[in-house]
């Protein structure tokens, strides 16, 4: 870990923290919530040992990267713009791409907007689904899960202050170590009702790992990350011109079978469809889908060596 280099770069009008290690073909790692560049520590060390240049930024609003105050500054155009500007600043024309959670969503958008910059993609947890013109994302989520669904709750301005009332380490542990694939629900009095059982560190996560994540979230809070969720409908509006568009890069998709994203109604059927409107229809160069048994949402941390091998084996083909 001490060999990983850290720097701050000016991209797209903000200061971005970037972690980097290795030399060779570049691999861009895009993290999710509630995570940071650090979520890719295992993959960065492995890929650099295999002759690749591993690059992992803190996304806009996360960790040591600048967090613009307005929620309107967190659309897919802003985040993808940050990453394209980062590649330009690093002098990189095309990269291999790896994403997870929100990083998976952003990676789909990056491939949708700028496929010319991506050699191949390994994406985890969140499938690509085409834009549905007839219904906005938040309306769909409310119909499925109600107002207490975490994404719907995050829409409330000031909800980050509710999160700040809870012990950060316990809060993050409740996310990272969750084994229940049911959708997270958060009542209005979340801070008062939050009473998880004492967490036990799993074999794949150390106290130092938890301390690092907690220290960064204590320092920055959750306003930046929540603004990604507050951009769902705005992204839907802005991306109307891409209605019906498909992902035009080679893809491997990996998910755990107890990942909450895999257990959203209809997702399993969509992933294994017969090619008439499902995942393969919208990602024509989808070369492989890997469903890992007994694995939760934070798959690249829970099963690092398996994920390392999947990434390396796929990118080595190109």
Degrees (nearest 5) of the Cα angle 212, 33, 282? 145
> In whole angstroms, how far apart are CA 282 and each of 105, 249, 270?
14, 11, 10
Q: For residues 67 and 224, is the Cβ–Cβ distance under 8 A?
A: yes
The whole-angstrom distance between residue 250's C-alpha and the CA centroid of its chain comes to 19
Helix (H, G, I), strand (E, B) or coil at 218: helix
Q: For residues 77 and 241, is the Cβ–Cβ distance under 8 A?
A: no
Among 101, 128, 228, 262, the active-site one is: 101
- Look at residues 1, 21, 32, 20 and name the one whose alpha carbon lies nearest to residue 299: 32
Copy the structure tokens of residue 12. 């797209």
Q: For residues 146 and 153, is the Cβ–Cβ distance under 8 A?
A: no
How far apart are the C-alpha atoms of 204 and 318, rounded to whole Å? 30
H/E element, 161? helix 159-164
Catalytic, 101? Answer yes
Listing DSSP states for 119-155 in one string gives: EEEEEES-------TTS-HHHHHHHHH-TTBHHHHTT
Among 31, 100, 297, 310, the active-site one is: 297
Q: Cα dihedral sign for 49, 50, 51, 54?
A: negative
Among 52, 74, 217, 229, the active-site one is: 229
Q: Which residues are catalytic?
A: 101, 229, 297
């Amino acid at each position: 870990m001490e060999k990983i280099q850290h720097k701050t770069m000016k991209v797209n009008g903000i200061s971005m923290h970037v972690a980097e290690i290795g030399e060779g073909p570049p691999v861009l790692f895009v993290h999710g919530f509630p995570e940071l560049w650090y979520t890719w520590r295992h993959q960065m060390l492995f890929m650099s040992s295999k002759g690749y240049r591993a690059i992992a930024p803190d996304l806009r609003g996360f960790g040591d990267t600048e967090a613009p105050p307005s929620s309107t500054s967190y659309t897919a155009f802003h985040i993808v713009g940050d990453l394209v500007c980062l590649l330009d600043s690093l002098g990189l024309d095309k990269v291999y791409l790896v994403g997870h959670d929100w990083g998976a969503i952003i990676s789909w958008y990056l491939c949708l907007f700028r496929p010319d910059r991506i050699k191949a993609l390994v994406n985890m947890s969140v499938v690509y689904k085409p834009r549905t013109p007839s219904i906005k994302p938040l309306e769909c989520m409310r119909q499925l899960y109600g107002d207490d669904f975490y994404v719907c709750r995050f829409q409330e301005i000031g909800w980050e202050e509710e999160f700040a009332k809870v012990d950060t380490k316990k809060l993050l542990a409740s996310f990272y170590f969750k084994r229940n694939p049911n959708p997270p629900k958060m009542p209005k009095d979340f801070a008062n009702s939050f009473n998880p059982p004492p967490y036990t560190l799993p074999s794949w996560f150390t106290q130092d790992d938890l301390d690092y994540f907690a220290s960064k979230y204590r320092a920055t809070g959750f306003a930046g990350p929540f603004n990604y969720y507050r951009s769902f409908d705005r992204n839907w509006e802005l991306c109307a011109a891409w209605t019906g568009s498909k992902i035009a890069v080679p893809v491997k998709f990996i998910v755990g079978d107890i990942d909450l994203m895999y257990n959203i109604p209809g997702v399993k059927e969509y992933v294994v469809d017969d090619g008439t409107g499902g995942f393969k229809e919208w990602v024509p160069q989808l070369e492989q889908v890997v469903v890992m048994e007994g694995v939760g949402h934070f798959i690249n941390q829970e099963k690092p060596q398996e994920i390392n091998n999947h990434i390396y084996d796929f990118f080595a083909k190109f």
